[in-house]
With several copies, the nearest count.
Chain A
Amino acid sequence: MNEKLYQIISKVFNVESSKINDETSPENLEEWDSFNFYVLLDELENEFNIKFDLDETLEIKKVEDFKEILKKHGIDV
């Protein structure tokens, strides 16, 4: 499941999934910009059939935070 998340992130940001880890953030991945972050959110919502709250999305600073928020929505990654 971890892999699935990494896969989606790697697809949206168009980078090798090997470059993705829990600490990946806009600071260390230049492909992560403010727009494709929203694209990523949209893909995750569609993929897992969930809806994030606006304030949840504002808390996400790195890949690990995605895991947290998905867990909150019952998606175990």
Chain B
Amino acid sequence: MGKNENLSYFLNEAKNIKTDNFEKKIRIAILGSSTINGYEETIRVKCHQKKIACRTYNSNYNQYNQEILKKDSKFYEFKPDITFLILDVRHVLGEIFFTPYSLSELEKKEFVKNKVREITNLIKTIINHSKSHVIFSDLQIPTYSPYGINEQKQEFGLKQIVKNINEKIKLEIKNEDLVSILDFNEFIQKYGEENIFNYKQYFSGDMKISIEFIPKFIDELMKFVNAITGSTKKCIVLDLDNTLWGGVIGEDGFDKIKLGDDPIGRSFVEFQKRLLALNQRGIILAINSKNNFDDAIKVINEHPNMILRRENFSSIKINWNDKVSNLREISKELNIGIDSLVFFDDDQINREFVKNQLSDILVVDLPTDSSIYPKILTELNVFELIKITDEDLKRRDMYSQQQERNEFKNEVGDFNEFLKKMDIEIKIKKADNFSISRISQLTLKTNQFNLTTKRYKENEIELFSKDENKIVECAEVKDKFGDNGITGAYIVEKKENEWIIDTFLLSCRIIGRGIEDSMLSEIIEKARKQNVKIIKGKFIPTQKNKPAKNFYENFGFSLEEDFWVFNTDNTINKPEHIKVIKNE
């Protein structure tokens, strides 16, 4: 992936990028108070590596103020999707950076207030004049105070001034969905100012991040790009032996594998704890291991130092099948694309085999040293979400319920019988503040049951929801096994005599239970009530949305030119086993 390449690699690669024909496209503006040469080239290359077509815009040196405040600036003309605002603490503080004594307590407070106002004003101006996300890189807390060790006991020392500015900006933008904060201090903490700040480059060209560390800094920016373009991974598939614990269960046995208690064992426990943290945040875990099922599951169920237990895994493949078949099955079972999976396996041959067969999967190159596993996981940066929705937090439970559903299905045998016994209930809701970010997330991430695959950012959904000529609604799905959360959505454009379905999608894990039919019925009934005769919708084929291909046809729509059309006088094929609650 070229992650460890140095800046000249990126500068040269950037010249070699041909016009990208990737599905995902993004326009990125970088505004900075210092020299930001090299940033845009690096981000374009890193986007290219992730199959994101990226256009960039760079502000002129320290011209960010004018660019933001003048509404006809080149910056607004560029129409960015994401704007990174990178201000340097020396620049913001001016002389105060060196001589905080020159101000009284009161003046310091006034100073903080003014700076917060200036910066939030810039951020809000961007939001008001564009549709761009704004990522503000917060101010670096100085690593040196002329107060020395006394800094910590000052009422309002130099560091406190900066901390206050950061905290207050954070509060100001808290409710702005389009604004996020890049934790610049985390970046400094990780690599150290000693390395990141190069005095020579600073005096030579006002570079605040050394040339050596620009690619690492761009990785921090890429977290946001990944999240906003919906390139986030959903599921971590794990091998067991020497991946979740030290040693081989089939050879060493239950009592001899290394898990806790010794240095090697402690490293695996730490790795599991970090996996658990991701799992609790909504990243699905699965197992793909060549082992006797009984041996391995016993460790998972019974080993006293095991952190991850059976309920943490949404799919468990412990068998003697090859790893690729298992991965395909996991993808199918969880109803998520192969490109949403991350695969951890200590065995290099397995890894190469998987890479070779499944080019879309992210295979993590694990080192031979298990003590590095936790660090590797932490630095993957592929699980970022611009906003963590309730659905994300509930996902883990939802997948466990899914397992129960599958078992129930096997029990009941007959599929129709099964559906009837599922007690499915759909709540249809208009888009509101609680659901807008989730609906946007669904349009960004849903690939399989998505009729038009139009991607909409949060602010676009918000705009649509206020448009009187549009219907933006989502479906919250429950059944006897639990709550699936908001898993379906549609957007309808209302014209005088016909309605056009702009977007219709369903989270793949609930396809095939009639929920899609209930939702479509809902649209048709609504049109009927308003005396609209014609409902039209397109199916735009992609590599992934075959499951939705015959949806309109099966429902009774007929193809007329580009559109599938339905006359609302016809009978509606509404599923009987589903209870629909309208919540308008």
Contact = CB atoms under 8 A, between A and B. Distances in A.
Interface of A: 11-12, 14, 34-36, 38-40, 42-43, 46, 51-55, 57-58
B344 to A, nearest CB: 17
Q: Which 6 pairs between the two chains have the least Cβ-Cβ distance? A: A53-B369, A54-B371, A35-B37, A42-B211, A12-B8, A14-B12
Interface stretch (B199-207, B480-488, B521-529): B199-207
Contact of B204 (A12, A46, A51, A54): A54
A14 B11 contact: yes
B201 A38 contact: yes
Task: Decide if the interface of chain A is mainly helix, strand, loop or mixed.
Answer: helix
Contacts of A51: 369
Contacts of B246: 55
Given A14-B11, A54-B200, A39 B38 contact: yes
A38 B7 CA distance: 11
Contacts of A12: 8, 11
A38 B203 CA distance: 12
A34 B61 CA distance: 14
Contacts of B203: 54
A46 B213 CA distance: 13
B205 A58 contact: no
B267 interface: yes
Nearest to B203: A54
Contact of A36 (B6, B11, B199, B263): B11
Nearest to B258: A55
Contacts of B199: 54
Output the residue of A11, A54, A55 with the most chain B CB within 10 A.
Answer: A54
Output the residue of A12, A39, A52 with the most chain B CB within 10 A.
Answer: A39
A54 B267 contact: yes
* Tier of interface size on chain B: 20 to 34
A73 to B, nearest CB: 12
A38 B35 CA distance: 12
Given A42-B210, A54-B369, 14 more contacts: A12-B8, A12-B11, A14-B11, A34-B205, A35-B205, A39-B8, A39-B11, A42-B7, A43-B6, A46-B6, A53-B367, A54-B204, A57-B200, A58-B263
Contact of B263 (A11, A39, A46, A54): A54
Nearest to B207: A38
Nearest to B38: A35
A11 B8 contact: yes
B200 A36 contact: no
B8 A55 contact: no
Contact of B264 (A35, A43, A58): A58
Contacts of B205: 34-35, 38
B479 interface: no
B264 A54 contact: yes
A54 B202 CA distance: 11
Contacts of B132: none
B15 interface: yes
20 contacts: A11-B12, A12-B8, A14-B12, A35-B35, A35-B37, A36-B8, A38-B205, A38-B207, A42-B210, A46-B6, A51-B369, A52-B200, A54-B203, A54-B264, A55-B264, A55-B369, A57-B200, A57-B204, A58-B263, A58-B264
A34 B38 CA distance: 12
Interface string B377-404: 0000000000000000000000000000
B348 to A, nearest CB: 15
Interface in B290-335: none
Nearest to B8: A12
Interface in B8-67: 8, 11-12, 15, 35, 37-38
Contacts of A43: 6, 8
A51 B199 CA distance: 12
Contacts of A53: 367-371
Contacts of A57: 200, 204
Output the residue of B200, B201, B210 with the most chain A CB within 10 A.
Answer: B200
B8 A38 contact: no
Interface string B257-284: 0000011100100000000000000000
A46 to B, nearest CB: 7
Contacts of B151: none
A40 B200 CA distance: 14
Interface string B555-576: 0000000000000000000000
Interface string B179-215: 0000000000000000000011101110100111000
A67 B12 CA distance: 24
A39 to B, nearest CB: 5
B172 to A, nearest CB: 34
B204 A38 contact: yes
